[in-house]
Structure 1
């Protein structure tokens, strides 16, 4: 700093008679840049020494890179505006909490000394304070609260959060209006269509509707009845199937197509004193049928309704097959009825003894007829249908 006469009172004077140390420039510790009386308001903030910036300035320069702070311009002593620097932030969004503090104050609320007053001496400071009126700050600097960076999941949730835009709201409103208009138009068309009809047309329309309703009711009744028949038809069908199976089994036994078992008698005829005639064998067969025999077998041959005995005495044939003594009959029927019927005087056993033969009858609770016949298909006869 220089005084009114151009001297530097803040520099020490060399002793009398002493030579200066050197002719080089002398650096003033209070003015290392050699700015002299240059007003500090004309110097950019980035060129001021850190010692002249004050604690508030140095603190602002160390603000976290994650936040961008825009310092509002303020007017200097000469009326020129000085703009602070911008700090580029890497954070995804700026902070929201702000507190406005005057430019000339620190964040703690303590007034900050102006750089120009720090460079001037006590005398200059007093003169400057008396000559120039105090400046009032015209802008404020926002104080920013730094938020920690968000995690990846938080960013993803924030990105996927549904956002309602103005276009979507407009589209929804238009769709609602369009639907309302369509409903109103349909109702008006229906009312107009029915209202424009004459009385005769309305009566005819009512009759057609009533007729259609009756037809639908009849159709529903028919469908319900068909449903009931289908539900109960399975039982009737099963019953008919069981009856058909029983009939087929009975017919198979009577015709000799199926083997049979049940109570009956075993008859054995021999020829110790003579030979039995074919007609005597026929009398035995007829007596068994009259006594209620249901299935009969003779020497491994099944006897059916069309069976016949042929041949001569001592050479009896059954349906063309020769059979020899002893003649063993296996008969299924009521043994208490068949046995007495054979022993009737003048009956079948009496004729066997008349031919010189002998016979025995043995009752049994269970006998088996295993021989079967393969019936030929009818050539001329066919089943009669139930239709007339």
Structure 2
């Protein structure tokens, strides 16, 4: 036949023979039986918060007849059942079941009521009381099991310790009393020293003074009052108990002196004092006034010199002029 073909003529292709298929599709069934069935995707559970819609009940029908033929006799597959698969076809792990979620929600976060908290506190208190009771019982049990000699020794030690503590208490009380006395004595001595310094300052003219007294004003329009008359007036006031004296703006102290100025007038401690002469005196007014008004005294002498003396008693007199103290040149403190 090849020889009968003319040049340029292609040989005819014979159709491939397909295997004959038996009635009932046995060949296809055998091929299907050789492949494993594809796993069905697992159904995702509905969310816990949304209830699943109730489906309509399927009508009860006749049971499906068992498959007949070669498909019913397929060999068992080695693949695990769909319910035992861990992952879905998409590769994501299956979500936890509803029971696990409900258990987790019930356990966390813990919900503690007020009653449970009160019960817990009562149980803790009861446990602490039991522990203290057991400990005290153990301590007493040690003393119960001790011998008589040990008990006597313990009592002696307690007595000795009590005596030592009592002695320490007495010593501390004595020390406290001494400190209080010394503190009080030191404070009292300090107050006495301060008071004495103030008194000496008043006498020395270095401290201001105030108190009851008199104010003596001498007017001398004729200019007949001399230094000796002012000195006599000062001596009378001192003799009557004057404690602080000030003439105009000059403080009178133990070293005060009076002189007649060359141009007229009087000088006190080197300072010119102009008229009227004003004596500010602190002392008992009931003693100072009569001492000046006695017959032949200061007031009568000033009146003879055409001068006028005026005495005013006051309950509060202020002597505010201060003297500058000068250290003694020859006097020294004597040894005891």
Q: 1:34 aligns with which of 28, 38, 41?
A: 28
Cα deviation digits, residues 126-162 of structure 1 (max 9, x gap): xxxxxxxxxxxxxxxxxxxx859x89xx99969xxxx
By relative contact order (CA 8 Å, sep 6+), the higher-ranking structure is 2
Structure-2 separation of matches of 1:289 and 1:28: 167
Partner of 2:86: 87
Number of aligned residue pairs? 252
Partner of 1:219: 168
2:220 paired with 1:270: yes
Cα deviation digits, residues 296-351 of structure 1 (max 9, x gap): 111311012x1343546977553454546543212233434322220101223334
Structure-2 separation of matches of 1:237 and 1:316: 49
Contact 1:335–1:363 (Cα < 8 Å) also in 2: no
Q: Secondary structure at the match of 1:265?
A: strand
Q: 1:368 aligns with which of 312, 318, 322?
A: 318
Contact 1:295–1:332 (Cα < 8 Å) also in 2: yes
Structure-1 separation of matches of 2:31 and 2:265: 169
Partner of 1:44: 36
Alignment TM-score, normalising by the size of structure 1: 0.45
Gap regions ≥5 residues in structure 2: 1-16, 47-71, 111-134
Once the two structures are TM-superposed, the CA of residue 93 in structure 1 deviates from its matched residue by 5.0
Partner of 1:120: none
Partner of 1:63: 43
Q: Secondary structure at the match of 1:46?
A: coil
Q: 1:327 aligns with which of 271, 277, 280?
A: 277
User: Any residues of structure 2 matched to 1:147-186 within 5 Å, and which?
Assistant: 147=101
Q: Secondary structure at the match of 2:215?
A: strand
Alignment TM-score, normalising by the size of structure 2: 0.51
User: Any residues of structure 2 matched to 1:184-203 within 5 Å, and which?
Assistant: none
Structure-1 separation of matches of 2:22 and 2:294: 169
Cα root mean square deviation, aligned: 5.6
Q: 1:277 to 1:253 in 2, by over 3 A?
A: closer
Structure-2 separation of matches of 1:209 and 1:284: 84
Q: 1:317 to 1:147 in 2, by over 3 A?
A: closer
Contact 1:287–1:342 (Cα < 8 Å) also in 2: yes
Contact 2:259–2:267 (Cα < 8 Å) also in 1: yes
Structure-1 separation of matches of 2:23 and 2:204: 144
User: Any residues of structure 2 matched to 1:1-388 within 5 Å, and which?
Assistant: 34-36=28-30, 44-46=36-38, 61-64=41-44, 82=78, 83-85=80-82, 86-88=85-87, 90=93, 147=101, 210-223=159-172, 248-263=197-212, 264-268=214-218, 270=220, 272=222, 274-278=224-228, 280-304=229-253, 306-311=254-259, 316-321=266-271, 323=273, 326-353=276-303, 356=305, 358-365=307-314, 366-376=316-326, 380-381=332-333
Structure-1 separation of matches of 2:246 and 2:196: 22
Q: Secondary structure at the match of 1:284?
A: helix
Partner of 1:168: none
Q: Secondary structure at the match of 1:34?
A: helix
Contact 1:266–1:362 (Cα < 8 Å) also in 2: yes
